[in-house]
Structure 1
Amino acid sequence: MTATLQVSCAQPWLTVRLPGLCRLLSFAPHRPGFQAADKVIWREVRNADLGPEVDPLALLRDGLAAIGGLDAVAMMTSRDIRRHFIARATIEGVTAACVATVGLGNGEAVGSRRPGRPGPPLGTVNILVHVDAALTDAALLEALSLAAEARTLAVLEGGYRPDPARPPVTGTGTDCIVLAAARGAAPLAYAGKHTAVGEALGRAVLDAVRPGVADWLVENGHRPGKGG
């Protein structure tokens, strides 16, 4: 638990309760785009859950309905959700808190695709980052891009290179980022690297994703930062 987020984990669900109703922007499979919500949920899935006849979105939606979570923004991952990482950063009175799960089995280098379908364990990089400042639509978009940049830096630092002839992975083919911001009457117009909210957000994402990358690499027999 952080000062701003309440995190509970009971497989297959990882639930993060936000500090009240927030504005969210994401490309999550359930309730993507601009939304209002007070919680974000991860659903852990296994290969056996996703046979060729299974609609993954229906699986997610039906599961959310069963736990009363249809009003949440929700993501899916094959990563063990117990291996989640939480970080918090405060810059000039603005606080950002991040929860991340990291798997790189289906990692890709941006701008290219590995031939064939990556084998298990797949996983993905799923991130929720909350800032306690209100943001305009433009600032939400800017902040989301900054979260993606921080994710990419953390993954690159890990040096995972499944194919020595190709660049190191920069993320996976199924990454998901959810950005949550407080609601307020005077939203900030900017959230870039020169702002306190941008610095806090970037720091929180880095500090959550870095140990997640290292954890996955060690678990799968790789040395963090050494490639291969």
Structure 2
Amino acid sequence: MLSEPLLTSRHEGGRDVPLLVWRSTAPLRAVSSGPLGGGIGVRHWVVNATVPMSYDRDDPADHLAALAGDLGLDGPGVGLLTGVDVAEVVARADSGVRAWATVGLGTPLLAAQPAPAVLAQRVGTVNIVVHVPARLGDAALVNAVATATEAKAQAIAELGLAATGTPTDAVTVLCPLDGPEFAYGGPRSTWGAPLARAVHAAVLAGGAVPVVPWSDRPTG
């Protein structure tokens, strides 16, 4: 079972920088596009860490692994980064599926639009973490990521933005290792439908509130 996220912090660059930690009481199956623990595999925890908009490290996986070590997290996990203050995480649930989103839409884009020469340095990451309370097969996990992405895009459109997301969004879906396996994760499947509704609601709520990049906020 995946815990509710714990808000904590680490000291970097002279400031206390927030991060969220989800722990599991048992190993979980997961699929993720995160910089640490991406792909499909067994995962024990998830970290979503705020970073300044000036973040330019070329080793984000190593950075996240070090943060996890400092937190005493054991085993493989998933690590995500965002310019958003992760204290502003939005949680929604539907029929046993739980979804959390940190929503920064400062750099919205349409996935297939011509790439601009330079992207403005504004908060622009949507990180989504989902727990499904039933075992999903590999194909269903991949399908669930697509469903979450479609639900995110629907919410962004309803917010009035001509965009499908931002250049740096990430999705993580976790489920139990044991139990009957479900083969599908699409938006009309047993678990894909509530997943879509929960993700849509979380992104819609998070995107409705203006977000200031964490690093632009005054200290003290």
**TM-score normalised per structure 1:** 0.81
Flag the 1:54–1:133 CA change in 2: closer, same or farther, 3 A.
Answer: closer
Q: CA deviation at 1:19?
A: 5.3
Letter aligned with residue 57 of structure 1: A
Q: How do 1:1-228 and structure 2 match up within 5 A?
A: 5-11=3-9, 12-18=18-24, 20-48=26-54, 50-51=55-56, 55-69=59-73, 71-90=76-95, 95-160=96-161, 168-215=162-209, 218-219=210-211
Distance 1:58 1:21 in 2: 22
- Indicate the SS of the match to 1:108: coil
- Indicate the SS of the match to 1:28: coil
Distance 1:203 1:18 in 2: 23
> Which aligned runs of 4 or more in structure 1 are off by greater than 4 angstroms?
none
Distance 1:136 1:219 in 2: 36
- Indicate the SS of the match to 1:75: strand
What is the match of residue 223 of structure 1?
none
Flag the 1:219–1:41 CA change in 2: closer, same or farther, 3 A.
Answer: closer
Letter aligned with residue 155 of structure 2: A
Unpaired stretches in structure 1, ≥5 consecutive residues: 161-167, 221-228
**Is contact 1:6–1:18 with CA below 8 Å preserved after alignment?**
no
Pairwise CA RMSD: 2.0
Distance 1:213 1:36 in 2: 31
Distance 1:63 1:31 in 2: 14
Letter aligned with residue 9 of structure 1: L
Distance 2:88 2:114 in 1: 27
**Is contact 1:105–1:122 with CA below 8 Å preserved after alignment?**
yes
Unpaired stretches in structure 2, ≥5 consecutive residues: 10-17, 213-220
What is the match of residue 14 of structure 2?
none
| Equivalent residues, number | 203
Distance 1:185 1:82 in 2: 33
Identical-residue share of aligned pairs (%): 30
**Is contact 1:134–1:186 with CA below 8 Å preserved after alignment?**
yes
- Indicate the SS of the match to 1:152: helix
Flag the 1:113–1:104 CA change in 2: closer, same or farther, 3 A.
Answer: farther
Flag the 1:44–1:219 CA change in 2: closer, same or farther, 3 A.
Answer: closer
